[in-house]
């Protein structure tokens, strides 16, 4: 049998009589760490024991350490059938090696027994004068990356035993807290003679020199710390609440739909210009609109932000079976092909026409044209080469020239549409984003026109008084200046 013994927080008074007797009589005794006062207290009464401190001293991968310790205990058990494993505090409280051991014992039907003890948490609660009923999260430092920290509840983090562990912990804490947030470093809680309690800033965490297996970090509750997603949801609810903003309260899905499009375009502009601060601001504006729409949906009883989050997570998991499932995909083309197949199945599309009609009607026409053409191209309805595609552009241009004198606006509109559609086709075949290409030309036009106007103003001329030939001459000068810059 594997006997898992809690050594308590460190004072001899906290060690149970049962645990003391088992340690005195037992064989094959292992302690997770020698850095515990009880081991010194019992050193004359325990015949022989081993510890796993070498793992902590020689490795920074704490997850791997826990697995190794559990594996070693199981190996000893296989040889001897009986092993005693002692851990600080209560074995069932923030003790990763024990949780791993128990899980394996259950799976392999290995007999085990847990002898509990007073936990470090009890001592910490007493020292810090905190009431768990107000919310208390207890985390093993090795599991910090699997946890969602919440500034709204107090947090105790155990086994901050080295600078490397402290550095990883600091990085995680800074995702949720400001770097000057004051936290408590506590060593040997409950053992008055060697107990250490000091207040430090999160930013100083990895600079501490006395970290070991008996080191804990306490992060007090601080709802006013760094803002998070829940703060944004609450802010929107406040704006739309009874004492909120009159404008915000009046808005509907339809009334603000165009603002969302505008904010998205501003985000794209910031991305194209590589403005990091701009990206942060514009992403915030887009996120605000997402939460705003969710708030409206919640008030109308249709959906809330949790439904939105659950929906997108479910969709992404479903469409990435090569990440979250067992499907093997080797390259981006296979990913895109599989994505389309899953989307068709999910949306129950039976025909390509249904897929085309499902493309968002509010997309910019050039982008929508590109998407329609790509779907047609998948079944081979596409020109074979650039030359044939270019001929189609010329053909459509000639048709525009044939009808423009008729003054039939409807026919002219149709032929202009055909010409633009063909230009998108040519752009697609050349792997050029038609929206980006057109925007480049628009910017180029504005810059050249700006040059014309600037020269005109210098010569005390108004543009309305200039001839086309005069403006065209300046246009050519502007073009030449652009070439020289290149």
**Cβ within 8 Å of residue 233, ≥6 positions away:** 291, 294, 295, 305
Whether 345 contacts 338, CB under 8 Å: no
* Separation of alpha carbons 214 and 89, rounded Å: 10
Sheet of strand 2-6: strand arrangement: 49-51, 29-31, 83-87, 2-6, 112-115
SS3 category, 171: helix
Whether 46 contacts 100, CB under 8 Å: no
pLDDT of residue 39: 84
pLDDT of residue 27: 83
Pick from 158, 160, 161: nearest CA to 121: 158
* Separation of alpha carbons 203 and 61, rounded Å: 22
pLDDT of residue 62: 67
* Separation of alpha carbons 382 and 432, rounded Å: 16
Whether 9 contacts 118, CB under 8 Å: yes
SS3 category, 31: strand
pLDDT of residue 63: 64
Whether 216 contacts 259, CB under 8 Å: no
Q: State the DSSP string of 279-347.
A: HHHHHHHHHHHHHHHHHHHHHTTS--HHHHHHHHHHHHHHT-HHHHSS----SHHHHHHHHHHHHHHHH
Domains of the chain: 2-118 (3.40.1010.10), 122-219 (3.30.950.10), 229-303 (1.10.287.1080), 349-432 (1.10.287.1080), 436-485 (no CATH)
What's the longest Cα–Cα distance across the chain? 111
Please tell me the pTM assigned to this model.
Answer: 0.77
Whether 5 contacts 23, CB under 8 Å: yes
Alpha carbon distance, N-terminus to C-terminus of the chain: 79
* Separation of alpha carbons 38 and 32, rounded Å: 12
pLDDT, mean of each 10-residue run, the chain (486 residues): 90 82 85 86 82 83 82 93 91 89 95 90 90 90 89 93 92 95 93 89 95 92 95 96 95 96 94 96 98 97 97 96 93 92 92 93 92 93 94 96 90 96 96 93 94 92 91 92 79
Dihedral of alpha carbons 428, 433, 439, 444, sign: negative
C-alpha distances (whole Å) from 254 to each of 128, 223, 233, 257 are 52, 34, 20, 5
């Amino acid at each position: 049998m594997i006997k898992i013994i809690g050594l308590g927080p460190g004072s001899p008074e906290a060690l149970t009589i049962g645990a003391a007797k088992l340690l005195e009589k037992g064989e094959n005794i292992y302690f997770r760490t020698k850095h515990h006062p009880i081991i010194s207290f019992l050193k004359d009464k325990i015949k022989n024991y081993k510890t796993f401190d070498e793992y902590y001293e020689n490795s920074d991968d704490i997850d791997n350490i826990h697995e190794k310790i559990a594996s070693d205990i199981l190996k000893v058990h296989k040889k001897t059938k009986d092993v005693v494993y002692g851990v600080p505090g209560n074995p069932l409280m923030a003790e990763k090696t024990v949780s791993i051991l128990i899980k394996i014992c259950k799976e392999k039907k290995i007999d085990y027994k847990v002898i509990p003890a007073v936990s470090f948490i009890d001592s910490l609660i007493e020292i810090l004068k905190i009431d768990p009923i107000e919310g208390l999260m207890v985390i093993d430092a090795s599991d910090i990356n699997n946890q969602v920290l919440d500034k709204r509840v107090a947090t105790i983090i155990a086994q901050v035993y080295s600078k490397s562990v402290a550095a990883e912990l600091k990085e995680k804490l800074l995702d949720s807290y400001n770097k000057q947030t004051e936290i408590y470093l506590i060593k040997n809680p409950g053992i008055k003679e060697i107990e250490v309690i000091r207040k430090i800033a999160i930013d100083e965490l990895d600079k501490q020199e006395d970290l070991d297996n008996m080191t804990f970090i306490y992060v007090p509750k601080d709802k006013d710390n760094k803002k998070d997603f829940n703060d944004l949801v609450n802010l929107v609810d406040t704006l739309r609440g009874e004492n909120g903003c009159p404008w915000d309260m009046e808005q509907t899905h339809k009334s603000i739909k165009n603002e969302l499009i505008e904010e998205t375009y501003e985000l794209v502009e910031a991305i194209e210009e590589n403005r990091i601060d701009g990206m942060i601001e514009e992403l915030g504006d887009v996120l605000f609109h997402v939460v705003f729409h969710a708030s409206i949906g919640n008030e109308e009883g249709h959906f809330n932000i949790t439904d939105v989050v659950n929906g997108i997570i479910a969709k992404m998991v479903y469409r990435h079976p090569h990440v979250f499932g067992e499907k093997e995909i080797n390259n981006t083309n296979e990913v895109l092909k599989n994505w389309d197949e899953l989307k068709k199945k999910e949306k129950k599309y039976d025909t390509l026409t249904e897929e085309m009609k499902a493309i968002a009607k509010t997309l910019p026409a050039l982008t929508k044209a590109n998407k329609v053409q790509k779907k047609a191209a998948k079944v081979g309805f596409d020109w074979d080469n650039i030359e044939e595609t270019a001929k189609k552009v010329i053909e459509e241009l000639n048709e525009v020239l044939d009808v423009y004198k008729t003054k039939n606006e409807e026919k002219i509109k149709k032929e202009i549409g055909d010409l633009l559609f063909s230009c998108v086709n040519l752009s697609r075949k050349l792997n050029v984003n038609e929206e980006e290409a057109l925007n480049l030309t628009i910017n180029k036009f504005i810059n050249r026109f700006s040059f014309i106007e600037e020269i005109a103003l210098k010569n005390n001329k108004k543009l309305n008084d200039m001839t086309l030939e005069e403006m065209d001459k300046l246009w050519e000068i502007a073009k030449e200046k652009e070439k020289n810059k290149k």
